[in-house]
Amino acid sequence: MKPSLKKNYTAYINGGFVPSQGAVFAATNPATGEHLAHIARCNAADVDTAVQAAQRALPGWKATSYEERAALLNRLADALEKELPRLALIDALDVGRRIAETRLDHQKAIAQYRYFAGAILTHEDYGRPIPDGYLMVKREPMGVVGQIIPWNVPALMVALKVAPALAAGNTLVLKPDENASLSTLEFAEIAGGIFPPGVLNVVPGFGEEVGAALTAHPKVAKLAFTGSPEVGRIIAHAGAERLVPVSLELGGKSPNIVFPDADDLDAVVDNALFAALYCNGQSCLAGTRLFVHDDIYASFVDKLASAASRLKVGNPLDESAHLSCLVSAKQGKRVLEYIGIGKAEGAKVLFGGERESVAGCEAGYFIQPTLLEVRHGMRVEQEEIFGPVLSILRWSDYEQMLKEANGVPYGLAAGLYTADLENAMRTADALEAGSVWINQYFNLSSGVPFGGVKESGIGMEHGRETLNIYSRVKSVTVRNRVIEPWYLG
């Protein structure tokens, strides 16, 4: 099963793919090693061409009504829905994730376009009378926005950036990750048939070339990035150099807390595994630190290991698989290295921890779901691994548990399971996280704000608040008459 793909992809600028004379890089199926397509390795000149196109398109797009923007976003959602099976297959082949997940990615992405099509229609500010006049406070687009996204969930990452930015009236230059560019370039061609030329531009390539040029470009009025804190700091510095606003969605090492009164421990086990292993664990918001109360620890961990043993590691196109391969050999080796670090630190492997071979996919890095019994402070408990590895901590003292749950540099998400509502709300208030999910991890739907604190980023995505980070406030005051000059009074 192979989708229709171009042999060569270049930058999508001003409503079409433009010729590129530079180098190319290969898109390769990480599971099989199969060549998928060649992609242009763009450079600063390509970025400048894209920014200039976006700048030319800005006045016309800014002048479109909210209703027209909403209608076009809904048209885009409809078009993407028709292409969903093909785009999901492209992502499964390009990134190595199981196709059931990539289908869900695209469904959630489509929901984002529809959500912001509605949200922009009520994105209103205020006005009020003032002495002898009137005050109006309005919102305007920022201008040309530079956006950089990661490889783990390309369809959703595109939607989280593109939908609110376009709804707010900005024009865009988007850089996809070099490990996952195909569906984004296909998306650009679909969107290019709906939006005016230059409104949406996609420039593939590498961070040190395209990313650096985009963040430094003098006509880019806002930067938005999802990725690692290390790169986030670089982009924040670039924004500070030019005094342009930056929004960042960065890493996570999220706690997931099981209280002894949690209802239906079997369901909690399933949800805790899902929290850690969805997307093969390659998710910044994964619940990778599981705190289990001492009263239920032994039985819960037994259930967890038993459930993990039933998970099938398989080909990304295998509908019955629960986990598939990591995005690259580099990432696979990194995860295995972390498992080795954990063992050296004294972590106990309760299940998994090894690379697994999948027939027909020998080139891929398939790693067993891995459960590590750890202590607070170990590197595997503190650092983002980005693989199917769950660190498990035993707790009995509530205050100490909270201290350890908050005792990482990150603050993206958190989860907890309890039948006690008062305890749930008290704990949610105490957790240092942008999102807290009670009795169901990943309980995130369109319109629910998502973002982090501490080293997990700046700004909120996924909800109405996102329109504010893609627009700026302007106040206009009107007087009923011209006052006499002060020096005549």
Among 339, 345, 333, 331, residue whose Cα is nearest residue 371: 339
Q: Which of 39, 325, 58 is nearest to 199 (CA)?
A: 58
If DSSP states are collapsed to H, E and C, what string results for the chain?
CCCCCCCEECCEECCEECCCCCCEEEEECCCCCCEEEEEECCCHHHHHHHHHHHHHHHHHHHHCCHHHHHHHHHHHHHHHHHHHHHHHHHHHHHHCCCHHHHHHHHHHHHHHHHHHHHHHHHCCCEEEEECCEEEEEEEEECCEEEEECCCCCHHHHHHHHHHHHHHCCCEEEEECCCCCCHHHHHHHHHHHCCCCCCCEEECCCCHHHHHHHHHHCCCCCEEEEECCHHHHHHHHHHHHHHCCCEEEECCCCCEEEECCCCCCHHHHHHHHHHHHHHHHHCCCCCCCEEEEEHHHHHHHHHHHHHHHHCCCECCCCCCCCCECCCCCHHHHHHHHHHHHHHHHHCCEEEECCCEECCCCCCCCCEECCEEEECCCCCHHHHCCCCCCEEEEEEECCHHHHHHHHCCCCEECEEEEECCCHHHHHHHHHHCCCCEEEECCCCCCCCCCCECCEECCEECCECCCHHHHHCEEEEEEEEECCCCCCHHHC
In the numeric block, which tokens belong to residue 165?
A: 């930015």
Phi-psi label, residue 132: left if phi above 0, alpha if psi -120 to 50, beta otherwise: left
446 closest CA partner among 167, 220, 141: 167
What sign does the CA torsion over 243, 177, 229, 273 have?
positive
Please name every residue paired with 38 in a beta bridge, in sequence order, or none if there are none. Answer: 8, 26
- Say if residues 272 and 439 touch (Cβ distance below 8 Å): no
Residue 146: phi and psi, rounded to 5, are -100, 125
Q: Copy the structure tokens of residue 460.
A: 């909120």
Q: Which residues are catalytic?
A: 249, 284
- In degrees, rounded to 5, the angle at the alpha carbon of residue 11 between the alpha carbons of residues 10 and 16 is 95
